[in-house]
Amino acid sequence: MLIKSIFTNSSGILVSRVLGFIRDLLTASILGANVYSDIFFVAFKFPNLFRRIFAEGAFTQAFIPSYANSNHKIRFSSIVFLQIFAFLIVLSLFVTLFSHLVTKAIAIGFDDATIDLAAPLFAINFYYLPMIFVVTFAAALLQYKNHFATTAFSTALLNLALIAALLISQDMEKYDITFYLSYGVLVGGLLQIITHLIALKKHNLCKVFHFKKHKKKEENKFYKNFVAATLGSSTSHISAFIDTWLASFLMSGSISYLYYGNRVFQLPLALFAIATSIALFPMIAKAIKNSDENKALKLMKKSSLILFGLLSIATFIGIFFDKEIVCLLFERGAFTSEDTKNTALILTMYLIGLLPFGIAKIFSLWLYAKQQQFLAAKISMQSLGFNIVFSLALISPYGAAGLAFASTLSGFILFILTIKAFGFKRFIEMFR
């Protein structure tokens, strides 16, 4: 079941990434690179960032262990869903009412005319956040039942909706195209909700609004873990922001080299490490809830060995064919052979850290399943601190490559600290 679940998640991620690449090509071709593309990307980036931090990572890491340990699962899940959904709706309405102020706070560099253009798009795109929370909530329930296919492949629906919006509006004015794209985002979110509701009904998980009174406040513990998991999930995004800010002091093109190199690095990490962690987490959480740590350890050992093999192969191929990979993906038009050379070096620096980042993700699941989210967040913050120190030390002599290697070094720190929290002795015993 584990291998099947990993393959299901990997397949879904691959389909979504391919469609995302097609979407990017169409966006560049139809909308171009101008003020209109800028305002759409800014409008969509903010709710998308919230989605990555809160919905996709932190919520699942806090919800599944709490749900597994709850004695009143229907009541617990109902309260959590209604409270968070209501908060996100109120937040979205606030953004709609004060869209100009919010846009100005986010896009500081925009002038007043550009803010006037971006504000309506910002208000529309923000409603994607409550929609994707519904999807994430449903996905967590389905993952608990070891059903991954719906969530894995429904992520492609957003890209399909955006591709359709681009094709329908391709002959219109640029500003009109951005509105079609924005509504395409909402259509994609709605399609994801529909597919998950069908899956919930099929697995008899639609009893979300049924309440039973009792004195326990299980949701309070969940929110504490949720806050900690949110803090831990945000560190990678903070790290990326700091790298971008530091790279802005380097030669022209450095930010782009880091972006393109990281995009390639994220593919094997998502296909193998993230896909494995999604499949593994509910199994570990249920095993620990049932006081069967031996089963949880066996699952982690099996997953670690599979992941070690896959990531080792990906690292080897990526490092030895770095220039060929970058050339195949990006070297066309204004992207020159010199750009390929610089991006390939960045990619190699990132790939050295692929294995520790991937394996650390597996063993961090033990902490989340044990509801030790604050410890996991502390480890993430320590890794971020080392990343900042390494970045400041390496940026001057090695430029953008130094920033990429600093991220890799922080990955090794993350791995060591995670294994320390898991237990070095337990780790050694697992593989003896």
**pLDDT above 50 for 215:** no
pLDDT in tens, 219-256: 777 888 877 777 777 777 777 777 777 876 777 677 77
Instruction: Please give the pLDDT value at position 406.
Output: 94
Number of Cβ within 10 Å of residue 317's Cβ equals 14
Closest C-alpha to 112, from 97, 123, 125, 100: 100
pLDDT in tens, 290-330: 888 888 899 999 999 999 999 999 999 999 999 998 888 77
pLDDT in tens, 11-20: 887 888 788 7
Residue linked to tokens 């259509």: 187
CA distance 237 to 246: 14
Report CA-CA distances (Å) from 219 to 69, 70, 229, 280: 11, 9, 15, 24
Number of Cβ within 10 Å of residue 305's Cβ equals 12
Residue linked to tokens 């993350």: 414
Structure tokens at 102: 């919010």
- Using pLDDT thresholds of 50, 70 and 90, give the confidence band for residue 210: low
Averaged pLDDT for residues 342-366: 93
- Using pLDDT thresholds of 50, 70 and 90, give the confidence band for residue 54: low
Instruction: Please give the pLDDT value at position 292.
Output: 87
Residues found in the chain:
432
Residue linked to tokens 């990526």: 318
CA distance 79 to 84: 9
CA distance 269 to 238: 18
Structure tokens at 229: 């998991």
**pLDDT above 70 for 183:** yes
pLDDT in tens, 105-153: 776 667 788 888 888 998 999 999 899 889 989 988 888 888 888 888 8
